[in-house]
Structure 1
């Protein structure tokens, strides 16, 4: 059965994580983890494409995002997201008859997947990092955090929010319609529109951007499963030095470059992204049968 439906999975410390699942029940399990400031909807086309090609794919809203719980203690450091991914992967693998799961993480979701992969051991079939490495460019990381913190009082209209997104993603054409933004915004009683994420999420990291790197070298060194980095060549987060640094930690690393994509590589060129993930998953499946 390929129809898409909602699912709820357990995070760490009682955090409830909302998600969507699609694809045949006996398909290759794939867990899609979005970046900071995004939701599971950022994987919409990829989720459907993977399911249509036989994968059993789940996309979740990370803690503090979308329809998932906010942390009462504002616990939003990389290790907290990593603990969520550990819990979710164990639960999802159990739903898939204990088969190992391919983790696909973009940006913050990739950091969480990287942290979780070592402890999960044989429950992970492989790891796909979407434009994220331990040694990120700090100017790019700061730009993301500044965007997430730029409108604490929200927007007067969807048009105003669309202008903010267009300025943040100048390599993309500004959408003519703004209705799609409602998936990422919440309208307040005063009529203003706020982003869906917990605003406390970025405050601690804004004071020390280096927190996004905490412990990632050790986490990468513990990765033994097949690992693929999908990099957008227009990215201001991942550069050649960052790729080589990761290769020094994960000697079996594979790298795919997407020419016309930036940090949002999975959605900038969805077809190239899906093709890369499927080819990688098929290689893994071929070696485990």
Structure 2
């Protein structure tokens, strides 16, 4: 049985403090988890625990501006800064880590391998993210994130109702107490998302993620430079990654394995956690056996 996680603090790019939960023994092969935009390290709780039970050292990281990690004083949440944070965290580990990144975390990890510092990780698992994203899905996600970022929610129940409307395919938890990990209670008694509002109100967020006809996608160029073992896991109900975008990614990164999970949307780990975890374990295990 896995004990409670140990909370660690890492020093990210430009000295920013980053918080992570660690499960298992530091002497085991590390697996570093990076969540999507607007989430926290708790998005990986069940998967991180299960991997530790399988003999891995699981580290679930709060990205800059999210959860208990520091907010960037100048509001700089550019993608390359997330990438450099991941490089800094990986450098503090005893062994080369397997990287599992969802959405923003996955893009940051891809930029690490394709632009910032190749061969930082032992493998890369990208969770429902590719260089080409459906603009309608991007707009939907950003709309949900920004709708209540300023005024927040009067209670956990109100937040749970709004999340249930946004994720109608997911079974609603009977207990809303787990939401407290992803919300912060303000001095005014209202709950707000546990991330820096500057993350979406500044120029950090691009509003067009797929190239127009005749244009090239700079993230495609970055992806093409990724040479390490790679795994793309897509939620078949994803509003962000289409089947065409997934197939394009497999052409750009020909060594990549592909897993398409039925009944899961963009937040796969929350929708189909057991299936997702088995896919992660199977891929990482195959990489370890081949090395």
TM-score range, shorter chain: over 0.9
- 1:3-42 to structure 2, matched below 5 A, reads 3=3, 4-42=5-43
Q: What TM-score comes out, normalization by structure 2 length?
A: 0.92
Note if contact 1:2-1:24 (Cα within 8 Å) is conserved in structure 2: no
Unaligned runs of 5+ in 1: none
Please, which of 225, 228, 240 is the counterpart of residue 237 of structure 1?
240
Query: Which of the two has greater helix per residue?
Result: 1
Counterpart position of 1:83: 84
How many residues end up aligned between the 2 structures?
A: 283
Residue equivalent to 1:101: 97
> Aligned residue for 1:135?
132
User: Shift in Å at residue 138 of structure 1?
Assistant: 0.9
8 Å Cα contact 2:75-2:202 kept in structure 1: no
Does residue 171 in structure 1 map to residue 169 in structure 2?
yes
Distance in 1 (CA, whole Å) between partners of 2:221 and 2:49 is: 34
SS at match of 2:241: coil
Once the two structures are TM-superposed, the CA of residue 173 in structure 1 deviates from its matched residue by 2.2
1:192 to 187, 190, 193: 190
What SS does structure 2 have at the residue aligned with 1:123? Answer: coil
Matched residue, 2:229? 226
2:214 paired residue number: none
TM score, norm. by length of structure 1: 0.93
Output one character per residue of 1:232-281: Cα deviation in whole Å (capped at 9) or x when no partner.
Answer: 10111111111122122111111011111111112211111111111111
Runs (5+) with no aligned partner, structure 2: 212-216
- Of the candidates 112, 116, 120, which is equivalent to residue 116 of structure 1? 112
Matches of 1:72 and 1:180, distance apart in 2: 29
User: Per the alignment, in what secondary structure is the counterpart of residue 192 of structure 2?
Assistant: strand
Contact 2:135 2:210 in 1 (8 A): no
Instruction: Check 1:207–1:12 CA distance in 2 against 1; reply closer, same or farther (3 A cut).
Output: closer
CA contact (8 A) 2:76 2:204 kept: no
Q: Please say if residues 32 and 43 of structure 1, whose CA atoms lie closer than 8 Å, have aligned partners that are also in contact.
A: yes
8 A contact 1:78–1:212 mirrored in 2: no
104-113 or 72-81, larger mean C-alpha shift:
72-81
Aligned partner (choices 266, 273, 284) of residue 276 of structure 2: 273
RMSD of aligned Cα (Å): 1.8
Stretch moving more, 144-153 or 112-121: 112-121
Provide the C-alpha distance between the structure 2 equivalents of 1:23 and 1:169, rounded to a whole number of angstroms.
32
Per-residue deviation, 1:206? 8.4
Q: Which moved more, 1:43-52 or 1:137-146?
A: 137-146
